[in-house]
Amino acid sequence: MLKLFLSTLLLTGSLLTIQAQTVEDYFLPEAPINKVDYSTPESSMTTSKFYTVKDSIIIVQDSNFVQGEYLSTEVKTFLVVNNEIHLIRSEFFYGKYAPKIYDFDTAQVTLKIPAKKDTITWTSVDPIKGTINYSASWRVTEKNNEKFTLLRVAKSVDYTKVKEVEFYAEKIGLLKTEVVTSDGSGLTKLRLERMSYVPE
């Protein structure tokens, strides 16, 4: 499945033109794919993302596992507005504890699409973390002599110099997440393993 994914990614890259693109093209895997599994390098933690789409509402359920044993789930509800992804609700479930639920009075803008060769920045306010600074740009990557373009989104909070950097691919969604420290060194937090369809 991973070889098929890489072939698809390379084909996507060779055909990609960054015009008339929608934010959903990068946020969502191509239908009917609705489940994406990730690993954390040098760790026994894995994550599964399950996508449900209805009109302009996108619900993403992140379930975390350690050594195959269920750990926690976060369910995020997003609204697509003006070609942007807005986080409007977050629900976190962990063991027997009461779920933590946040309804955002002002939606957090978590993803935007910059124009070709451009970089855009914006901020959103998280009720716990405070102000989150975002930056979105395009990154051209080469693999097996083929070039493809990824959407790179870096985010950081005001009180730390650590950045979380997400890479998205068209019709695939999130490829990987890296944590980058103030000295520029980074480590991969999530790495795509496989994509599949799960009947609802």
User: Domain containing 63 — which CATH number?
Assistant: 2.40.360
Range of the domain at 102: 2-196
DSSP state of 91: E
pLDDT in tens, the chain (200 residues): 444 444 444 434 433 444 458 999 999 999 999 999 999 999 999 999 999 999 999 999 999 999 999 999 999 999 999 999 999 999 999 998 999 999 998 889 999 999 988 999 999 988 888 899 999 999 998 877 888 899 999 999 887 878 999 999 999 999 999 999 877 778 999 999 999 999 97
Q: Is 64 exposed, middle or buried (0-12, 13-18, 19+ CB in 10 A)?
A: middle
Total number of domains in the chain: 1
